[in-house]
Amino acid sequence: MLLAAVDYYRPDTLAEAVEALDSTEGARPLAGGQSLISILKLRAASVDLLVDISRLEDLRAIAVADDGSVRIGAGVTYDEMAMSPDLHRSHPRLSQVAAHTVDAQVRNRGTFGGNLCHNDPINNFPPVAVALEATMHVTGKDGDRDIAAADFFTGYFTNALSSDEILTGVTLPALNGRHMGYQEIEIGEAAARAVAVVATSNGNIESASVALGCLPIPVRRPQVEEALAGTPATADAVAEATAAAGEGIEPLSDADASADYRQAMASVVAKRAVMEAIEGGQNG
């Protein structure tokens, strides 16, 4: 179906974008358009004004701070993430995930911020932001605010932003010797996904952060993290500690996978992600 007629505005500054969102009912930011335009074509949502933020300079940088944390502008595309030497050094696994997201066309247009704001359960980056304890930087008519990633995702396709607010960037803390594992089961778009950020020392797990994706909201698994802390960094110990990863989650059933299957696969992807992070540590 063709796109229905909609007003379009490409502001030159972030302030102009916020002003347009605030002053026009039914206005919506347009980033890479890889989700929003499809939704509009399908008539699954209607928008009166598209505010194109894709060329705003304020949203387009990747910057590593002295403490090793990295700030990724919301308008940075997956391709730009994949090709950034800074991101490759600071968060190499994230750089790889960006490089393998969907296909060349989507990677050329899709943005890190759009991926997070859209919060489609199939999107790659929401569980990464939660596992890494990212900070989301937001600007709106009342000024700037920061939101912890754990509080940013509020439900299926929804987030904590109000209609005048724009996600401007995301700060990922330094890995500081930790390693990230990212594992998914690809049936259709994705049936199950886990991200683990793990520190090891002398053959034991010092700390672990584990988040699951392919859910309405990406969730941390504190009981798994507690079980992992202090255990030997071996496949058997990790399997035991991650066995309960699917307890209490509420996955969706869709054409790709049933909720029961997704629940059963949570421990499988959690174990694989933790083992990948451990092996990253062993490989340097």
Ligand X SMILES: Cc1cc2nc3c(=O)[nH]c(=O)nc-3n(C[C@H](O)[C@H](O)[C@H](O)COP(=O)(O)OP(=O)(O)OC[C@H]3O[C@@H](n4cnc5c(N)ncnc54)[C@H](O)[C@@H]3O)c2cc1C
Stretch that binds ligand X, among 98-106, 148-156, 208-216, 234-242 (CB under 6 A): 98-106
Q: Which token pair is 273? A: 């992600």
Confirm or reject binding of residue 74 to ligand X (CB under 6 A): yes
Q: CA 75, CA 54: separation in Å to the nearest integer?
A: 6
Give the nearest residue (CB) to ligand X. 114
Interface with ligand X (CB under 6 A), residue from 33, 68, 92, 173: 33
Q: What are phi and psi of 271, to 5 degrees?
A: -60, -45
Sequence-ordered list of residues with C-beta below 8 angstroms from that of 174, at least 6 positions apart, any chain:
67, 68, 69, 70, 90
Beta bridge partners of 98: none
Q: Are 222 and 188 in contact (CB under 8 A)?
A: no
Q: How far is the CB of 257 from ligand X (least distance, A)?
A: 14
Q: How far is the CB of 142 from ligand X (least distance, A)?
A: 15
Q: How far is the CB of 29 from ligand X (least distance, A)?
A: 4
Confirm or reject binding of residue 213 to ligand X (CB under 6 A): no
- DSSP assignment of 16-41, as one string? HHHHHHHHSTTEEEESS-TTHHHHHH
Interface with ligand X (CB under 6 A), residue from 69, 115, 209, 267: 115
Judged by beta carbon, residue 45 or residue 235, the one nearer ligand X is 45
Q: CA 53, CA 76: separation in Å to the nearest integer?
A: 11
Interface with ligand X (CB under 6 A), residue from 76, 161, 217, 219: 161
Confirm or reject binding of residue 122 to ligand X (CB under 6 A): yes
Confirm or reject binding of residue 111 to ligand X (CB under 6 A): yes
Confirm or reject binding of residue 272 to ligand X (CB under 6 A): no
DSSP-H helix ranges across the chain: 14-23, 36-41, 78-83, 85-90, 92-99, 104-109, 112-118, 125-131, 149-152, 222-228, 235-242, 259-282
Q: CA 200, CA 235: separation in Å to the nearest integer?
A: 14
Q: How far is the CB of 114 from ligand X (least distance, A)?
A: 2
Confirm or reject binding of residue 49 to ligand X (CB under 6 A): no
**Exposure class string for 209-242: b at 16+ Cβ within 10 A, else e:** bbbbbbbbbbbbbeebbebbeeeebeeebbeebb
Stretch that binds ligand X, among 11-19, 86-94, 101-109, 170-178 (CB under 6 A): 101-109
- DSSP assignment of 152-166, as one string? HEEETTEES--TT-E
Stretch that binds ligand X, among 26-34, 205-213, 237-245, 267-275 (CB under 6 A): 26-34
Confirm or reject binding of residue 189 to ligand X (CB under 6 A): yes
Interface with ligand X (CB under 6 A), residue from 32, 218, 246, 280: 32
Confirm or reject binding of residue 113 to ligand X (CB under 6 A): yes
Judged by beta carbon, residue 30 or residue 233, the one nearer ligand X is 30
Confirm or reject binding of residue 166 to ligand X (CB under 6 A): yes
Residues contributing to the site for ligand X (CB under 6 A) = 28-36, 38, 53, 74, 101-102, 106, 109-111, 113-115, 117-118, 120, 122-124, 161, 166-167, 189-190
